[in-house]
Amino acid sequence: MTSAGSGLTLLQTCALSLLVFTGASQFALVGALAAGGNPLTAAAGAFFLGVRNAFYGLRLSQLLALPRAVRPFAAQWVIDETTAVALAQPTRRSARIGFAVTGLSLYLLWNLTTLLGALGAEAIGDTEAWGLDAAGPAVFLALLAPMLKTTTERAVAALAVVLGLGLLPVLPAGVPVLVAALAAPAVLWAQGRRRGGTRTHDGVQDTHPDAYAQDTPEEDR
């Protein structure tokens, strides 16, 4: 919808959804092109927004344990929503099913709505009036909530929110979320430090986060 209104052809709009399939990157690219930006600068901005998918892949490859040959095909579906759904599953089997079902249905829906949107850009009207723009964050919140089991996860989430919102006005689009990802190593580091500090009396002063990680029970599913 947005792209049809900013000078892209129907074919270009659909190619974008089929090939890129990362909502935030698509909007960023279209927005930058519409504003008359250089195509490569626009692509670079969109790329930054897509970088977080690499972090998702890191977690998903442990969780799903996909055969090497399947990975290039699964990769296209590594996005916010599929990761969140897969991580919310109790077993590897259901995680795989969750990833595949979410990936397939989103891929079909996303491309179908892109086509419909490009065909009749104005017909649907104002989605904001219906409060539909709150559905996205609500989905993320619902998927995030079960992950916040311990104080570690809560601290990471809280710090990420502060970084993500605080840096939004000052950094280019996509970068604040990447900086917010630093909340994870930062919290681990702080915990390792605190543990290291309490152990100084017996001569072990290990400020490396590994000190924490190594004696933490595995939470593999």
Site for other proteins in 94-153 (CB under 8 A): 128-145, 147-148, 152-153
- For 42-80, b/e burial (b = at least 16 CB within 10 A) is bbbbbbbbbebbeebeeebeebbeeeeeeeeebeebbbb
Q: Which is nearer to other proteins, 121 or 184 (CB)?
A: 184
| Shortest Å distance, C-beta 97 to other proteins | 16
Q: Which is nearer to other proteins, 125 or 131 (CB)?
A: 131
Token pair, residue 154, equals 């809560």
Q: Does 1 bind other proteins (CB under 8 A)?
A: no
Output the CA torsion sign for 140, 45, 113, 70: negative
Q: Which is nearer to other proteins, 153 or 193 (CB)?
A: 153
Q: Which of 35, 54, 69, 123 binds other proteins (CB under 8 A)?
A: 54
Residue with tokens 């017909």: 123
For 30-88, give the DSSP string: HHHHHTT--HHHHHHHHHHHHTHHHHHHHHHHHHH---TTTHHHHGGG-SHHHHHHHHT
Stretch that binds other proteins, among 24-32, 91-99, 105-113, 114-122 (CB under 8 A): 24-32
Token pair, residue 206, equals 């290990």
* Local structure of residue 102 (DSSP, 8 states): H
Where in 157-186 is the site for other proteins (CB under 8 A)?
A: 157-161, 163-165, 168-169, 173, 176-177, 180-185
Cα distances from 36 to residues 40, 125, 152, 158, in angstroms, run 12, 26, 44, 37
Q: Which of 2, 55, 92, 190 binds other proteins (CB under 8 A)?
A: 55
Stretch that binds other proteins, among 90-98, 115-123, 194-202, 208-216 (CB under 8 A): 208-216
Q: Which is nearer to other proteins, 1 or 8 (CB)?
A: 8
Q: Which of 72, 90, 125, 203 binds other proteins (CB under 8 A)?
A: 72
| Shortest Å distance, C-beta 172 to other proteins | 9
The torsion angles phi and psi of 89, rounded to 5 degrees, stand at -85, 145
Q: Which of 35, 69, 202, 220 binds other proteins (CB under 8 A)?
A: 220
